A and B are shown apart, each in its own frame.
Chain A
Amino acid sequence: MKDLLTIKDLSYKKNQKLILRDVNLSLKPGKIVALLGENGAGKTTLMRIIAGVAKNYKGSVTLKDTNDVAKRKSFLSFTDGLTGFSESTKIGDVVNFYVNIFNDFDENEFDELRKFMKLDPDMKLSQLSRGIREKLIIALNFARQADLYLLDEPFAGIDPMARKRIINSIILWKSEQSTILISDHFVDQIAALLDEVVVIKNNTVFAHKTADKIREEHKSIEEYYEGLYEGEDE
């Protein structure tokens, strides 16, 4: 099967500090992939480079056979904090923005997701708690029929019950051919979903394995991931 995303020899520096070095990564269509790593490992930066909002990198990023940033942006959906809107903006207005701007945004799909997340379209962004805001962001992302979903710590503020419900439903929201790259610290909670695991360590892709292989070799994905850092604090 042809790769959906190919990253070749990617290096990125900011303020002369090396953040990513010689990153090589390929993702196939239809997979759910965890992007794991410590805080500051470069997970968000990698996602931002893929999404086309971080610049000045060396190497190449190809999504659906194109290097063109504008085209790449049309193929992917990236969790965004919605800070480009004023806090007085209503959810309904944010949805209208998505309807107008993203050709692949499905309003009916959003309506289903909105009901699932219990979101009120008349609520203003300023009235949303962190958890509700995260739910809105997830709903907006999955209402797009994208080829690649980049979910950067999407469940951070969501309560455990809702988190569980959302994680269990993610597989229903994506099309068969679309891929999800998800970074999250709740490894145990997303483990059941995963097809592959990518670990960012020492500024590069330290490991890229299938979830089945990890399960064969270790008790769980969480145990494998924690094992990578064992003894480092001492």
Chain B
Amino acid sequence: MTKFWTLFRELFKQKSKPAYIVFLIQVAVALVTLFITATTTPNFKSAQMFGNKIPWLPAWILMYIVIFLMYSFIADFAYLLLTAWKNEKINCSQTWRLVPMSDGKIYLCNTLSSFCSFIYLVIMQSIVGLIGCLIAYASSNGIRKAIAYALHQEAVVDHWADVNIGDFLVLILFMILLGLFWYVIISFLHFTSRAIVDFLPMMSNKFIVFVIRAIVLIVIVYLVIWAMNMFGEIYSNPWFFKDSSFASSFMPETIELLIFDLIFGAANYALIDKFVEAKQNN
């Protein structure tokens, strides 16, 4: 029998390749954008921050980092789409389903490896941002002065004082559960429609499959809205979360997501174990 982590490593290897490609494309597109901005913007070379003149190289690096991080939203979204598609391909691939492990565990491994590879991409993007900022900070007195000035501004200081580690952790947890929810819900849509299509009499033409997927999607959206309303009523009870901090006010949504992840994840586990066949590929 194959160990869970052995399969996880193999799947992660498969998914980290597109992560590198997306990352490299992002690096290249940000460079091109910087070049276009630099050549088309007047006075680009004489950058200033809070009245402090900044040499052109650190200014370009900072500009590059800003552009690069802005493109992260598009790159991450594209990678989520790409891995969701790859996930479903693997879920129904005979090659992967022949791995000596239960189909439910293969599904879990597949979903977790997709999610971890997404986190890996985000980490790579963050490292580029961090290194760029450090280089810019180290190479320019103007930037150091500007940052020192910004940090001493009362508004900025107050803003940092408001940051709460609990809020930050809840937000991170929410983002993690949201990322998992994306993969779980796509698999649920795929598995339920596949199970229905396989059951119906000779109805495997593309239009019928499309109609069934649309119906399943509508049912899922309806169920999620219904469940959210139900949870909303529970949380509106005065004894629930009296504290008005960000963490407390955001906690209901986080718990909702956790419950959705567990319910749909468990349903996917059962569906793939009992109903969803691997595609024939000889």
Q: Mark B246-268, 1 if CB is under 8 A from A, else 0.
A: 00000000000000000000000
Alpha-carbon separation in the docked complex, A81 to B277 (Å): 16
Q: Mark A81-121, 1 if CB is under 8 A from B, else 0.
A: 11111000000000001001111000000000000000000
Say yes or no: B99 contacts A73, CB within 8 Å: yes
Alpha-carbon separation in the docked complex, A97 to B237 (Å): 53
Say yes or no: B277 contacts A85, CB within 8 Å: no
Alpha-carbon separation in the docked complex, A44 to B101 (Å): 21
Alpha-carbon separation in the docked complex, A70 to B97 (Å): 10
Give B272 Cβ to nearest chain A Cβ, in Å. 9
- For A152, the chain B residues whose CB sits under 8 A away are 282
Give B68 Cβ to nearest chain A Cβ, in Å. 27
User: Does A56 interact with chain B (Cβ within 8 Å)?
Assistant: yes
Given A55-B275, A102-B2, A73–B101 Cβ distance below 8 Å? yes
Alpha-carbon separation in the docked complex, A209 to B255 (Å): 61
Number of interface residues of A (CB under 8 A): 32
- For B100, the chain A residues whose CB sits under 8 A away are 70-71, 73-74, 101-103
Q: Mark A176-204, 1 if CB is under 8 A from B, else 0.
A: 00000000000000000000000000000
- For A52, the chain B residues whose CB sits under 8 A away are 97-98, 103
Say yes or no: B281 contacts A83, CB within 8 Å: yes
Q: Mark B3-44, 1 if CB is under 8 A from A, else 0.
A: 000110110000000000000000000000000000000000
Partner of B96, one of A78, A84, A103: A84
User: Does A7 interact with chain B (Cβ within 8 Å)?
Assistant: no
Say yes or no: A55 contacts B277, CB within 8 Å: yes
User: Does A39 interact with chain B (Cβ within 8 Å)?
Assistant: no
Partner of A80, one of B200, B202, B276, B282: B282
Say yes or no: B275 contacts A101, CB within 8 Å: no
Say yes or no: B95 contacts A80, CB within 8 Å: yes
Say yes or no: B281 contacts A80, CB within 8 Å: yes
Say yes or no: B277 contacts A54, CB within 8 Å: yes
**Least CB separation from B18: chain A residue:** A86
Give B49 Cβ to nearest chain A Cβ, in Å. 46
User: Does B278 interact with chain A (Cβ within 8 Å)?
Assistant: yes
Given A74-B1, A80-B94, A100-B6, A16–B199 Cβ distance below 8 Å? yes
| Chain A to chain B contacts (Cβ below 8 Å), 15 pairs | A16-B199, A51-B98, A53-B277, A56-B275, A56-B277, A70-B102, A74-B1, A74-B100, A78-B98, A79-B282, A80-B94, A83-B279, A84-B94, A85-B95, A152-B282
Binding site for B on A (CB under 8 A): 14-17, 44, 48, 51-56, 69-71, 73-74, 78-85, 97, 100-103, 152-153
